[in-house]
Structure 1
Amino acid sequence: MKYLSTRGGMAPQPFCDILLEGLAPDGGLTLPETLPALGADTLESWRELDYADLAARVLGLFIDDIDAAALSRMTRAAYAPDVFPCIAPVKPLRPGLSLLGLSEGPTLAFKDMAMQFLGQVFEYVLAQRGQTLNILGATSGDTGSAAEYALCGKRGVSVFMLSPHGRMSAFQRAQMYSLQDDNIHNIAVRGVFDECQDIVKTLAGDLEFKSAHHLGAVNSINWARIAAQVVYYVWGWLRAARGPGQQVSFTVPSGNFGNILAGHIARRMGVPIRRLVLATNENNVLEEFFRTGIYRPRAASQTHATSSPSMDISRASNFERFVFDLIDRDPARVRALMEELRTTGQFDLSALRPEFTERYGFQAGASTHADRLRTIGDIRRDAGVLIDPHTADGVKVALEHLEDGVPMLVLETALPAKFAETILEATGETPEVPPGLQDLDRRPQRVELMDCDVRQIADYVHRHALR
């Protein structure tokens, strides 16, 4: 299995090389040259596997430069009961509609599902090669804490995580900033998530700086994140489908397009997925694209601060991977579209709109603060299940796309405890904080506050990076 770049400027490379690189040298994103195929017999043979074994099977399709025994040890460690006491349960909400619970890990968010594996595979590959790695990432709330909890204390790796100052929930800030490990560096940037992400891409695109400081990525620009997320689509289908070939739809709250991209990959591999329904909040750039065919990211000043803050994103890092498929994997056209985006602020693929649903199964919808409050309250009252604001965006949109005879799974984004203020507004009750985290808001916090200045952040990385 070799990997190429969406922009065509990289020789095919094995998994372990692209794992440590993150962004491709030509500025593109890595993808397998060809996707493995999953037939009905294979899927049915996996029904009785536990999550760790299923992860080893699925990830083994993408990773052939790590032996199967080592990969199995890593998935066993990543998805152990002490890490995920309950893993990816299906929770019925209404007839035909269920929640796929992805937030039972250490940071109470779906990002743990992939990050715990990344923590294992980074440490393994770095030890095998005798190398060090400095992870430079950006977070709108959940990626940062999931990455830091997965990598804190790991040998040979340090994390530099940029977050938008004042734009995460208090719980999200406390989770990240209370970590005291020497290999964790939190940087709060005076700006929005998209500006944090731009700084990461600028430094990752500076090949001299990247090489000198051994920079890697843990955001979903890293293919390993996407591969690990494919696993729970297979898991969800195995639990929702009533038999071979039964189609299942998934609704996915998405801001950076990584979570739903994994569903797109699973569908292309042969998992019987009927619809991939994308749910956004007021920052509806992706919903607008699937409705109109025009991709028009917004400026930082136009990015709304909402009550589902992890989706307060106006430029989706993973979208280029889908566009690559949409235009028949033509890297020259990708380069042209990215240049058009850079110079005009948008590109137009409206001529391909019929393919969005007919070929790839995509639909989309948006949600508002009022929608979130109403949905949280309704689901609490009717199903006895408390959901977080991002998941509420998903449930609201899922209800608009139900089809008779097709089970719909909404991918849970986080546990309600991370967004207590909104939950209180919606239900009049304060969500329960899991054991071990009740004192989180009282723990000392360690964070550097910086201007939105790539030179200032580059200097900080230079002074603190592992050599």
Structure 2
Amino acid sequence: MKYISTRGDPAQRGFCDILLEGLAPDGGLYLPAYYPQIDAATLQRWRGLSYADLAFEVLALYIDDIPHDDLRQLAQRTYTRAIFGSDEITPLTRLDKAEGKSGDAGLYLLGLSNGPTLAFKDMAMQLLGNLFEYELARRGETLNILGATSGDTGSAAEYAMRGKRGINVFMLSPLGRMSPFQQAQMFSLQDPNIHNIAIDGVFDDCQDIVKAVSNDLDFKRRHRIGTVNSINWARLLAQVVYYFAGYFRATASNSQRVSFAVPSGNFGNICAGHVARMMGLPIDRLVLATNENNVLDEFFRNGHYRVRASSETFETSSPSMDISKASNFERFIFDLLQRDGGRVRALFADELSKHGEFTLASDDFARIADHGFVSGSSSHADRLATIRTTWDQCGVMIDPHTADGVKVARELRDPALPMIVLETALPAKFAATIVEATGREPQRPPATEGIEQLPKRCKVLPRDAAAVKAYLTENV
């Protein structure tokens, strides 16, 4: 399997090369040259596999430069009860049991937040840490990871990379924009290979800095810069696995179709669903849910994509989705435009860079329906109401981001098909909103008690790529 850039660079790369590289040299994102196709016989063979074995089967379709025995061991080392709390790894819970409507296929919650940092990002990041360590050891090299986080990516990356040989992590986050729990998870880490940098801006500013540094090819190569954000294909690939796992848990046969509802900010999580659907997984609709920062919802409604300025990016009670520039969105547009790298480059490198917006041609917009996407948005009041009713009626407590997904799923679901909402994080990470909605504190794992009071270590920098480069140079 070879990988190509969304912006048309003619070079094709192997998996292990793009694993360590991040962005393509032309500023595009990597995608496989083709999507392997899954037939009914393969689905039947995969049904009933353990999560680790299922992960191996999916990964092996895309990775041919790691021996399969080693790849299987990496998957088995990653997806364990000790790390994710159960043999299922991603348990499925029905949310609408109390409704009991005849013929209703059900609304489900796929549990993705039982890893070390209590967020779905652990599902991919734990694998990514093991892949990095494996490949760097094979090459005898080191890597300096530069990432940006709106909340959960940072802690998931740091917990996955702490203590890993040959790896340093430099994680940018928006100053004062994360929940106290999220901040504490990151800033309390004292490992010498972990560096937290708070940027005086919003998440999009952090993401822009990461891309600016990555696009300086000389600096990137000289300092061995890699990425863990979902612009890294390996992370998105790991997320494809739980769409298959969720499908098998919610269906009795491979003739059934399902829909997925996904809280979306940076488009990585739902892009993994797009990949699974392109592979042949029987997904009817991919329901994208945004908060008040509804750039993506507007696009899927009218084909117009307009990036918001920092001053227009709302600070909400689902802060990990306070994003107005979705970096993974380019991957979907590449497929939507029938893999025409020149047209993608014209949209993203020219129109979007110069004007901050673009509009799809009508025939391109019409093809969105062929890919199964629909969308909706949620407000603070909606989140509170959804958290409250899900707790009162189902006995299940959900976090604010998951609530955005549940709210939109309830509005758009077809009762004849199972609708699976992807859980984003455990409620303990957003206690203030949970208390506001339900009047009670969410339960938190014992290991996280008092985390907000631990000593913290963080460097505050302006939203300036040069300042970040200087800090990296001093600390690699």
Match of 2:288 among 278, 288, 298: 278
Alignment of 1:380-391 (within 5 A): 380-391=391-402
**Aligned mates of 1:31, 1:116 — CA distance in 2:** 21
List gaps (5 residues or longer) in structure 2: 97-103
Match of 1:354 among 337, 362, 366: 366
* Maintained 8 Å contact 1:248/1:275: yes
**Aligned mates of 2:306, 2:49 — CA distance in 1:** 43
**Aligned mates of 2:185, 2:198 — CA distance in 1:** 14
Look up the match of 1:42: 42
Greater displacement, 4-13 / 120-129: 4-13
Matched, 1:71 2:81: no
1:368-422 deviation line (CA, Å, top 9, x unaligned): 0000000000000000000000000000000011113210000000000000000
Alignment of 1:38-117 (within 5 A): 38-86=38-86, 87-94=89-96, 96-117=106-127
SS in 2 for 1:8: coil
Matched, 1:208 2:218: yes
Return the TM-score normalized by structure 2. Answer: 0.97
Aligned length: 464
* Shift of residue 270, structure 1, vs aligned partner: 0.3
**Which amino acid in 2 is paired with 1:445?**
K
* Shift of residue 350, structure 1, vs aligned partner: 5.0
List gaps (5 residues or longer) in structure 1: none
Look up the match of 1:28: 28
Greater displacement, 444-453 / 392-401: 444-453
**Aligned mates of 2:310, 2:415 — CA distance in 1:** 41
**Which amino acid in 1 is paired with 2:283?**
I
Return the TM-score normalized by structure 1. Answer: 0.98
Instruction: Tell me how large the CA RMSD over aligned residues is.
Output: 0.8
**Aligned mates of 2:65, 2:255 — CA distance in 1:** 32
Look up the match of 2:99: none
Matched, 1:165 2:167: no
Matched, 1:439 2:450: yes
**Aligned mates of 1:103, 1:232 — CA distance in 2:** 12
Matched, 1:300 2:302: no
* Shift of residue 10, structure 1, vs aligned partner: 4.6
**Which amino acid in 2 is paired with 1:55?**
A
* Maintained 8 Å contact 1:10/1:25: no
**Aligned mates of 1:435, 1:103 — CA distance in 2:** 15
**Aligned mates of 2:119, 2:29 — CA distance in 1:** 24
SS in 2 for 1:167: coil
Look up the match of 1:310: 320
Match of 2:417 among 406, 413, 428: 406
* Shift of residue 245, structure 1, vs aligned partner: 2.0
* Shift of residue 442, structure 1, vs aligned partner: 1.9
Look up the match of 2:188: 178
* Maintained 8 Å contact 1:294/1:350: no
Matched, 1:268 2:278: yes
**Aligned mates of 1:419, 1:244 — CA distance in 2:** 37
**Aligned mates of 1:441, 1:344 — CA distance in 2:** 41
* Shift of residue 453, structure 1, vs aligned partner: 1.6
**Aligned mates of 2:403, 2:329 — CA distance in 1:** 23
* Shift of residue 366, structure 1, vs aligned partner: 0.2
Matched, 1:242 2:236: no
**Aligned mates of 1:292, 1:330 — CA distance in 2:** 21
SS in 2 for 1:432: coil
Stretches of 4+ aligned residues off by more than 3 angstroms: none
Instruction: Among all aligned residue pairs of Structure 1 and Structure 2, give the percentage whose two residues are the same amino acid.
Output: 62
